[in-house]
């Protein structure tokens, strides 16, 4: 059951990261405080994405609470690293990010680490 909660957390946090990136592209720069403030107060383009992204992070923390009741931290944390793969792949597909071999190498390292942690122990 803990693995399911952890995977829900991965999905939520990955979606939240993508939403927050889209919000930061749509909103005015942070150094222009008044313009950013008015965009948020008037709920203009980007404010909804920001709100949804933040809510995704909060929901992800709730899933973590339930995941950690059933899984050891080392295994739960390894599953969370899958969000790096999900965000990288989704950014390539949906946000026109440029492919990089370093990104692919990182994905392979994360997959190797998760596989190692979840490999059965021989005694």
User: pLDDT at position 41, please?
Assistant: 87
Quick: pLDDT tens for 54-98.
999 999 999 999 999 998 888 888 888 888 888 888 888 887 777
| DSSP letter (8 states) at residue 95 | S
- Which of 11, 118, 117, 15 is closest to 63 using CA atoms? 11
84 three-class SS:
helix
Q: What is d(CA 75, CA 66) in angstroms, rounded to the nearest whole number?
A: 14
Those residues with Cβ within 8 angstroms of residue 25's Cβ, 6 or more apart along the chain or in another chain: 46
């Amino acid at each position: 059951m803990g693995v399911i909660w952890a995977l829900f957390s991965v999905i939520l946090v990955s979606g939240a990261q993508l939403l927050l990136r889209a919000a930061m592209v749509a909103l005015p720069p942070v150094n222009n405080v008044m313009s950013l403030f008015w965009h948020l107060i008037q709920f203009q383009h980007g404010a909804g994405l920001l709100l949804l992204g933040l809510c995704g992070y909060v929901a992800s923390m709730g899933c973590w609470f339930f995941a950690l009741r059933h899984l050891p931290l080392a295994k739960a944390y390894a599953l969370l690293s899958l969000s790096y793969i999900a965000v990288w792949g989704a950014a390539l597909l949906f946000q026109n990010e440029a492919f990089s071999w370093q990104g692919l190498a990182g994905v392979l390292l994360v997959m190797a680490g998760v596989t190692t942690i979840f490999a059965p122990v021989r005694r």
